[in-house]
Each structure stands twice: as C-alpha cells, then as structure tokens.
Amino acid sequence: MTELISNILRGSVSSVMYVLLLMTLTKSRFDRKRIISIAIFVFVINMTSTLWFYFRGDLTGLSRFTVLMFIVVGLLIKSFTKMSFMQWSFTFLTTINIAMMIIILSFHLGRLFPYPQYANTFFRFVLYLLVITMFRKHFLRTYQTVVSDWPVFSGLMICIFLNLSYFFFVTDDIMQTLATNRWPLLLLVALSLSAYGTVFFSFKRFLAMYDLEKENMKIQRETEVLQKVATELEIYANSDTLTGLPNRRIFFTKLETIVSEAKTNAIKCALLYIDLDSFKVINDTYGHEVGDGVLVTVGRRLLNCVRETDFVARLAGDEFAIIMQDIEDTNQAKQFAMRVHSVLQEPIAIDTITCSINASIGISIYPEAGDNGEALLRNADSAMYEIKKHGKGGIGIYNHNVL
C-alpha cells in the first residue's frame, strides 16, 4: 500500500507539473479556471492509470501510458496556441526531454535519502518548479526565438530525445534500468543540459545585441525626428508662413550683414521698401483667401526679378523689402525698381478672380542715405511715404526726387 501511495503521488506530481511546463513553453491562451480544470483532469487520469498498472504489476507500462497521455494532452493544448504544427512538435519534444531528465535526476537524488520513494517525488516537484520558474523569468523569450527557428535546432532536439528515450522504452523494468545505468544516464543528462545551455546562452547574447541595435535604431530615428522638427521650427522662426520668404527678424540680420560687408569692401548697396497700394480693398472685396493668393504671387514675382546675390523678405502684411548687394550707382537701383514696379502691376489671377495692384517703392542707397541698416530702412520708408503723399503708385529715392 505504501508503494501504491508513493506511485500515485509521484505520478500525479509528474503529470500536473508536466502540463504546467507545456503550457508555459507554448504560452497557451488559458485562464486560471481552465488551467485548474486540465490539471484536475490529468490528475484523475493519472490516479486511475496508476491503480490499474499497479495491480497489474507493470510500472514500465505505466511510464509508457504516461507518455501517451502527455501526447494526447499536448494535442489538446495545441489548438489554444499560436504555434504552427512543427513549432508545437518542437516544443512538445523539448518538454518530453526535460521531463525525462527530471525523472532521471529525481530518481538518483531520491536514492540518497532514507525514504527514496518520497524523496524522489519531492525532488521531482522541486525540479519541475525550478525549470518552470527559470523559463518564466529568464528564458521564455529566448526559447520563443529558438522555436521560431526550429529547423536549425530540430536535429539536436531529436538526438537528445532518442538518446534519453532509449532507456525508457527499450526495457521491461524501468526502475532497474534507471538504477543499473546510473552514470551513463547522468552523463547523458549533463550533455543534454550543456547542449540546451549553449543554445540558450548564444541566443540570449544574440537577443541582447539585437535589443541594443534596435535601441540604437530607435534613438537614431528619434534624433532624425528631432532634427526635422528643429529644422521646421527654424524655418518657421525665420520664414513667413504664407509666402515662404524670409521674415522681418531675418531681414534685419541680413541687412546689417550686407551693410557691414559694404563698409569693408567700400561698395554700394540699395534697400527697396515696397508697399502694396489698396491691398485692403482686395481683402475687403474678395476675401482673405484671395488676398493671401495675391501676397504669395507678389512674393514669387519679386523672387523672379532679383539676382542671386539679392535678398527678398516680407516685413509685414502688404510690405516687402529687397536688398541689392554690390551696385554700381543709384541709376542701377532705379532701373531695377522700375522693372519690379512694372512686374507687380501685371494682372493677378486667383482661381476665377483677376485683380490688379500697384505699389509704392522707396529706395535708400548706402552710404548716401545712411551708414547702418536702421538708417537705410528708415529713409527708404520715408521715401516710400513721400510717394503715397503724391497719389501712390511710384518710385522714390531718399532725396525726395520722384520718378
């Protein structure tokens, strides 16, 4: 009776812990209630089969029936996993290999104690619990990677299975086989553990390197995004959002730079201050959408008029400015202003609406009209307002002469 109790206890521990190990490796989609139900089912089947084979005196048949039951339970669990059939087979074979190694180790560890049948059960439970805990905490992700590459490692898993299972299936007395082949079995377990350890350690290092590379790529992508955002912010800070021209802030910086270069190189430069006449009428008549279209067209036309060395900016609302670098004389600035004035007077078509504008342009020449950017801008603005006083639509130079 004592032997029967120990066999039932050991078989129940083996069956239930085996199922838990298989569920751990397959990452089955079971809730706690279903896991308990499967464990109870396996426990009942194990108790029934143990009693049956015990009274028949066939413990070897019991071990073979247990393997068959494992296969059936594994097939039932397969339908609740995301694994392919070959991935599931690989995992099932791995679970069988682990189970056989635990049986061998627990048997020989149990024989070191006064009640080997109970010590065997205790060590079997501890070893299963240890393996399940290690997989859950350390090796599960690595193992899933191994499973996804099952063709690479299937040969190794099959060799381990054939070597271990030989001692379990080619015998009529499993207990005697385990006892008489102690050292060959322990050596086989050591070699099998070394093989598994090598695979897991290699993949763990590989995954660590992959994670590092992935993190580096993530940082690189984030850096690129930040650089793009910084560039966009810089453009937004330095450009007019409607026309795309440099804004007032950049205009003043550029103006001071050009004046400084003109002083250094003893050359002339000119500033054209452009104000669109009656632009408010267009906004009020056709709406701001058409008004915005007019401003965009004006900006584009100004860019088409200037040289590569010149600078165009939108200062505010309907006010624009052009800085001409390295001019020969005042006449060159006059001729250029006349061309700009003529281009701006051409009709502007916005969708189905055609409208015309005029412009008042004030000119200041360095160094005659001022020796710094602020003075040039003030005097060009003054020349422009002189034009507006005389009816708008014209060109004025900061000596009060009107063309």
Residues assigned a catalytic role:
318
Choose among 87, 88, 102: nearest CA to 134: 102
CA 185 to chain centroid, in Å, comes to 48
Q: How many CB atoms lie within 10 A of CB 39?
A: 17
Contact 398, 380 (CB under 8 A): yes
Length of the chain measured in residues: 403
Six-digit token pair at 140?
Answer: 């599960």
Amino acid at 221: R
Residues 6+ apart with CB under 8 A from 382: 362, 398
- Report yes or no: 39 and 21 within 8 Å, Cβ to Cβ: no
- Token pair belonging to 348: 């502007």
Q: How far apart are CA 301 and CA 303, in angstroms?
A: 5
Q: 358-366 and 394-397: which strand pairing?
A: parallel
Structure tokens belonging to residue 113: 């104690």
